[in-house]
């Protein structure tokens, strides 16, 4: 049995879009990745914190593509999600924000953009419970899963051996198995599920891929 999970993503610019995306995956999933952006760190302005909601029982990971972590993090903590992911590249005080998240009893996630080298943010990786390798396009679904980024996992684990590894960007049926083999624990899947006419079928195919024991 794989220790990896598929977490469908929600990336919505308004409340109607948000509801539509929630409805599309309700009944399918337990762990969900919700993207929010300030329109500055990432070009897309998403729904705001007051507009976030979720069905009962969902395990929510909130990915905050924001610069001002001091403003956002206390408001996100108040929502009591499973995890809050902030960017190592944010202009605010990321170290303090990670400590605040952990002190609140919430998993502290750190996202690394493609150009970010783990050793340059070593202190932050040591504080994180989860490090997410971001291989997509900020503020939009899709992007390509650059499997070269898997090399980062070894470097991250050398700094913090017990950290959970996430991946965001370009996850699809044809690369999910490679990502899991490369050490990814949480595969955040956006467009492939949200743009599908049959999200249940895609979700189930992704599940099959990550649970394969060997390549046939």
In a domain, 138, yes or no: yes
% of the chain exceeding 90 in pLDDT: 76
pLDDT digits (tens, 9 = 90+) for 152-166: 999 999 999 999 999
**Would you state the torsion angle of the CA atoms of residues 47, 94, 41, 142, taken in this order, to the nearest 10 degrees?**
-70
> What is the spatial distance between Cα 88 and Cα 117, in angstroms, rounded to a whole number?
10
189 is written with which tokens?
């899947």
| pLDDT, mean of residues 42-54 | 92
> What is the spatial distance between Cα 82 and Cα 185, in angstroms, rounded to a whole number?
15
CATH of the domain at 47: 3.20.20.70
In a domain, 62, yes or no: yes
In a domain, 216, yes or no: no
Domain count across the chain? 1
Q: Give the pLDDT band (50/70/90) at residue 1.
A: very low
In a domain, 192, yes or no: yes
In a domain, 215, yes or no: no
| N-to-C CA span, the chain | 17
pTM for the full predicted model:
0.93
Query: 3-class DSSP state for residue 168?
Result: strand
Q: 139 lies in which domain range?
A: 5-210
């Amino acid at each position: 049995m794989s220790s990896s999970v598929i977490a469908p993503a929600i990336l919505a610019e308004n409340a109607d879009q948000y509801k539509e995306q929630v409805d599309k995956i309700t009944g399918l999933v337990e762990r969900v990745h919700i993207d929010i952006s300030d329109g500055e760190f990432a070009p897309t302005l998403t729904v705001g914190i007051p507009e976030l909601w979720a069905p009962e029982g969902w395990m929510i990971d909130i990915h905050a593509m924001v610069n001002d972590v001091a403003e956002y993090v206390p408001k996100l903590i108040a929502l009591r999600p499973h995890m809050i992911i902030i960017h190592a590249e944010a202009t605010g005080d990321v170290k303090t924000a990670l400590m605040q998240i952990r002190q609140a009893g919430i998993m502290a996630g750190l996202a690394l953009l493609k150009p970010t080298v783990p050793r340059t943010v070593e202190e932050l990786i040591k504080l994180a419970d989860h490090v997410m390798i971001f291989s997509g396009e900020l503020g939009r679904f899709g992007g390509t899963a650059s499997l070269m980024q898997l090399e980062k996992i070894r470097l991250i684990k050398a700094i913090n051996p017990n950290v959970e590894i996430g991946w965001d960007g370009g996850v699809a049926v044809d690369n999910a198995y490679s990502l899991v083999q490369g050490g990814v624990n949480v595969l955040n899947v956006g467009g492939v599920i949200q743009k599908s006419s049959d999200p249940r079928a895609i979700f189930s195919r992704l599940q099959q891929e990550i649970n394969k024991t060997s390549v046939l």
